[in-house]
Amino acid sequence: MCSIVGYVGDRHNGDVVFQGLSRLEYRGYDSVGYGWIEPGSGKIESIKAIGSVIGLSAQMKAISRRVNSGIGHTRWATHGAPTLHNAHPQFDCERTIAIVHNGTIENNVLLKRELEHKGHFFQSATDTEVIAHLLEDAVGNDFSSLIESIVYVVNRLEGAYSLLCLFEKYPDMLVAIRKRSPLCVGYAVDGCYVASDPFAFSAHLSSVTFMPDETIALVKNNNASFYNFDGHKISLPQESLSYDNDDMSTEGHQYYMVKEIFEQRDCIHKTLFMLEDQSSKIEFMVPYHSLKKIRIIACGTSWHAGLMAKHFFESRAQIEVVVHLASEFRHYPSVILMQEPETLYLFISQSGETADTLESLRQVRQLKSASYLCAITNSAMSTLAREADMVMLTRAGREIAVASTKAFTSQVALLYWYAHQIGYWRGFITYEDRVKSLCAVKEVAGLLESTLKMYQKKN
C-alpha cells in the first residue's frame, strides 16, 4: 500500500518526511521519493530511489535545513514499472507543480490524450503525472483562484485518490486532496503535517483532522483551510490521537511477526475485556430479535475470519449468514439487498481502510433500507469506523508483519463473542452458556500462550 507524507513548518523538512516515510514503510513498496521547494532558488527539487526508504538517506543529508515545505511518497507500482521515472513525485511540463498520489485515476488514458493534443509531454507511465499536467493546464487558465483551478481538476478526475501537491507559486503551502482514499492533516507547535496515516507523525501531533470524502485542504505552517469539491469553504473538527508511539519496537524478538504471534493472548484478552465492558451498549444498537439475516463483507484475512463466524452465528444465534468477498459484493444485485430490510451487515477490516470493503459499505448505505451497518476494525480512527452506524473494535494494536496473526485471532474472538451474545439476546442460549463461551475463548488464548512458551524452551 502506498504512503503519503508531507510537512510545512519550522523543523528540518527532510528529516520529518524521512521519519514519516520510515514509520509507514512496513506497508510494502518498491520505490520512494521526496520533493521540496528549494529556499534559494524557489524551484521544486526532488530525489528518488528504487527500493527502501534508506536509499534516500545519503541524498537527504545534502538538503538545506531551511526547507519549509516538502512531500514524500512510497510507491507500490501499478501504472508503470518500479523505475525512477515512475517514482513519485510526478511533475508538470515546467516542473512548477509536484504531485504524490495514492489510488487510481480511471480516466487517465483519455485525459493524457487530451493533454498531449494541447502540447503537454509526459515522462512517466503513471496515471499520477496526468494530474500534474491537468493542474498545470487549469492554473494557466483564467480561474480567479487556486481553489477554482483545483475544483476544475478534481471534477474531471474519475477514480479513488488522495493527493498531496507542491506549487512553486505557493512555496509555503501544501495542497491536500481526498476522494475515497484516506488523508489527514495533523497539527503541532512547529507546523502542520499531512499523511495517509496519522501514525506517520503521531509522536509530534497535538491533534488531527481526518479529511472527509471529496475534500480539499490548503495547509500552511500554522493552519489549514478546507473546501468541498464545489469550492465552498467548510469547517472540520480536530481530534486527539490515541496511538502508542512506542509500538514500532520488536521488544527483543527477531522479527515483528514473531513478536505479534506472542502477543495474541494479550490481544484476545484485551478485546474480550472491552467487549464485555460495552456489552450493554452493543445490545441496544440493533433490534436483534427481528433480524432475518447477517451479511459479512471483507477481504483477505478478514474474509477468512468471516467464514469462521458464519458457523458461530448460525449455530449459536440461529440466524442465516452470507459471507461475501468485498470485491465481488460491489457487483451484487442491489434489488436483492433492497428486499432485506432487517439485515445486519458486518464490514470487517483490520485497518479500516480496505478500499473494496469501504466501497461495499457505501453501496449498502445508498440503498437507504432499514439495515444495520457495523464496522469491525482494529482502528477507531479509520474511515470504516467513521462511516458505519456502529463500531466494534479489536484491541490487537498495530500489526507490522505482512502475514496477519494477532489481528486475525482477535477478529475471530470478537466474532465468536458476538455470536454468543446475539444468541443469548435472541433467547437461543442461556446466560450460563454465554459465560461458558467467554471462558472457553480465554482458555484457548491461554493454551495458545502455553504452546508458544514450549516452542521458546525448545529454541
**Using one digit for the tens of pLDDT, what is the confidence trace for 69-107?**
999 999 888 888 889 999 999 999 999 999 999 999 999
- Each residue of 36-58: b (16+ CB within 10 Å) or e? bbeeeeeebbbbbbeebbeebee
* Higher per-residue pLDDT: 226 or 66: 226
Spatial distance between the Cα atoms of 406 and 253, rounded to a whole number of angstroms:
15
Region of residue 427 (phi > 0: left; psi between -120 and 50: alpha; otherwise: beta)? left
What is residue 338's predicted lDDT score, i.e. its pLDDT?
85
Long-range contacts of 63-66 (CB under 8 A, 24+ apart): 63/13, 63/14, 63/36, 64/38, 64/39, 64/40, 65/12, 66/39
Q: Cβ distance 19 to 41 under 8 Å?
A: no
- List the single range of 325-339, 383-397, 414-428 with lowest mean pLDDT: 325-339
Q: What is the pLDDT of residues 434-455, one digit of tens each?
A: 999 999 999 999 998 888 888 7
Query: Which amino acid is it at 295?
Result: R
246 pLDDT above the threshold of 60: no
What is residue 79's predicted lDDT score, i.e. its pLDDT?
83
3-state DSSP call for residue 410? helix
64 pLDDT above the threshold of 80: no
55 pLDDT above the threshold of 90: no
328 pLDDT above the threshold of 70: yes
The pLDDT-based confidence of 245 (bands split at 50, 70, 90) is very low
Spatial distance between the Cα atoms of 286 and 134, rounded to a whole number of angstroms:
47
Domain ranges of the chain: 3-234, 256-458
Under CATH, domain 3-234 is a member of which superfamily?
A: Aminohydrolase, N-terminal nucleophile (Ntn) domain (3.60.20.10)
Spatial distance between the Cα atoms of 138 and 135, rounded to a whole number of angstroms:
5
CA distances from 357 to 79, 271, 383 (A): 23, 22, 11
Q: What is the pLDDT of residues 117-147, one digit of tens each?
A: 999 999 999 999 999 999 999 987 767 789 9
Cβ contacts of 281 within 8 Å, gap of 6 or more: none
How many C-alpha atoms does 398 have within 13 Å on its Cβ side? 21
Cβ contacts of 308 within 8 Å, gap of 6 or more: 412, 415
What is residue 27's predicted lDDT score, i.e. its pLDDT?
67
According to the CATH classification, is domain 256-458 in 3.40.30.10? no
What is residue 59's predicted lDDT score, i.e. its pLDDT?
85
> pTM for the complete prediction?
0.87
How do strand 372-377 and strand 343-349 relate by DSSP bridges?
parallel
Furthest-apart CA pair in the chain: how many Å?
75
The pLDDT-based confidence of 194 (bands split at 50, 70, 90) is very high
The arithmetic mean of pLDDT across residues 270-277, rounded, is 96
Residue 332 burial (10 A CB sphere; 0-12, 13-18, 19+): middle
What is residue 243's predicted lDDT score, i.e. its pLDDT?
59
What is residue 247's predicted lDDT score, i.e. its pLDDT?
58
Query: Which amino acid is it at 220?
Result: K
Q: What percent of the chain has pLDDT over 90?
A: 75
3-state DSSP call for residue 391? strand
What is residue 390's predicted lDDT score, i.e. its pLDDT?
95
**Length of the chain counted residue by residue:** 459
The arithmetic mean of pLDDT across residues 15-33, rounded, is 87
Long-range contacts of 106-114 (CB under 8 A, 24+ apart): 106/158, 106/159, 107/156, 107/157, 107/158, 107/159, 108/79, 111/156, 111/157
369 pLDDT above the threshold of 80: no
The arithmetic mean of pLDDT across residues 330-355, rounded, is 90
The pLDDT-based confidence of 398 (bands split at 50, 70, 90) is confident
The arithmetic mean of pLDDT across residues 38-42, rounded, is 91
What is residue 244's predicted lDDT score, i.e. its pLDDT?
52
Residue 204 DSSP label? T
Spatial distance between the Cα atoms of 421 and 54, rounded to a whole number of angstroms:
48
Question: What is the crossing angle of helices 264-277 and 431-458, to 10°?
Answer: 160
